[in-house]
Amino acid sequence: MIPRDQQERCRALVSEAAAGLLDPQGRDLAARVQWWSLAGLPGEWPVAVLGEGAPLLLLHGFDSSFLEFRRLAPLLAAGHRLFIPDLHGFGFTPRPAAGPYGPGPVLDHLERLLAAIAEQHDGGRRGSGSRAGGIGLIGASMGGAVAVELARRLSGSIDRLLLLAPAGLSGRPMPLPPLLDGLGVRFLALQGVRRGLCRSAFADPDRGVGPAELEIASLHLQAPRWAEALAAFARSGGFAGCGTPLPPQPLQVLWGAQDRILRAPQKRAVLDLLGDRVQELQHCGHLPHIDQPDTVAATWLRRPATTP
């Protein structure tokens, strides 16, 4: 069960974002949030819904929220019905005290979300030009690993994928032991640390990072049980080694040449795995959808002709 006051606090944070964020695109996206009941899950789950056309699901990265897609969403909404959820345990989602938290619950939540989308939008999908039963999928950072796992699970439901600086495709899970997980979360909550991480994510932080970006990067920390859920996710080991085997759908990857979040060995491992599916973007950091949203939108709209 989700205590009523916790659910109301999550709703209030999103409503306050829609009314008062410094970033106007963030305000607009927050105003598009709907609260969905999903079969088998307690509480109501935030999903930003906008646009018309072929259905497209956007998945944010670690310790982030749907607001990550504030610059990309307007560029895709003219031709797509966009669904932008907060991942289970992140953003402004309800966080049951008993959990569980980790990759499994993240994927289970998305499977239920896709079932709800299919139930509500099958009629529109048949006339959208997408292949029967298919939905497009864009995943950023950890959301890239989530997208790959989801595409393997639901190969008949996912149309194609675009991964933005994907994290978690290589390596192995490394669970944080008790005590260290809590220390790590407290470290991430420090204002100076969040400012440093935000600046590291941009290609040109002096130009790209200001009060509006810092506000969005930290707003979801006010959600009830943020720290407990993040610590539990860290204890699970998170997403790692998700790139093998690759899913059967067409897949593209955009990676910023100035990415300072993912280390060089991680990038080399992904390049070895994905080869010419990867396009490197100059003057771009860890967030192509923030640094170069026009390029990301254009890449998605140039639909691949064949499955690799």
pLDDT score at 303: 73
pLDDT score at 130: 40
HSE of 261, CA atoms in CB hemisphere, 13 A = 27
**Per-residue confidence in pLDDT tens, the chain, 308 aa:** 789 999 999 999 999 999 999 999 999 999 999 999 999 999 999 999 999 999 999 999 999 999 999 999 999 999 999 999 999 999 999 999 888 999 999 999 999 999 999 988 764 444 333 444 589 999 999 999 999 999 999 999 999 999 999 999 999 999 999 888 899 999 999 999 999 999 999 999 999 999 999 999 999 999 999 999 999 999 999 999 999 999 999 999 999 999 999 988 888 888 899 999 999 999 999 999 999 999 999 999 987 654 44
3-class SS shares of the chain: helix, strand, coil, % to 5: 45, 15, 40
Whether residue 19 contacts residue 4, with contact meaning beta carbons closer than 8 Å, is answered with no
Q: Tell me which CATH code domain 4-301 carries.
A: 3.40.50.1820
Q: Cα separation of 69 and 296, whole Å?
A: 11
Non-local (6+) Cβ contacts of 12 within 8 A are none
Cα angle 213, 217, 220 (rounded to 5 degrees) comes to 135
Burial zone of 306 (CB within 10 Å; 0-12 exposed, 13-18 middle, 19+ buried): exposed
pLDDT score at 125: 43
* Domain parsing of the chain, residue ranges: 4-301
Q: Are strands 45-50 and 33-36 parallel, antiparallel or unpaired?
A: antiparallel
* Closest alpha carbon to 141 in 255, 291, 230: 255
CA–centroid distance for 63 within its chain: 9
Helices within 21-72 (DSSP H only):
24-31
* Closest alpha carbon to 62 in 140, 138, 142, 145: 142
CA–centroid distance for 196 within its chain: 20
pLDDT score at 186: 94
- Determine the 3-state secondary structure of 114 from DSSP: helix
CA–centroid distance for 224 within its chain: 20
pLDDT score at 124: 43
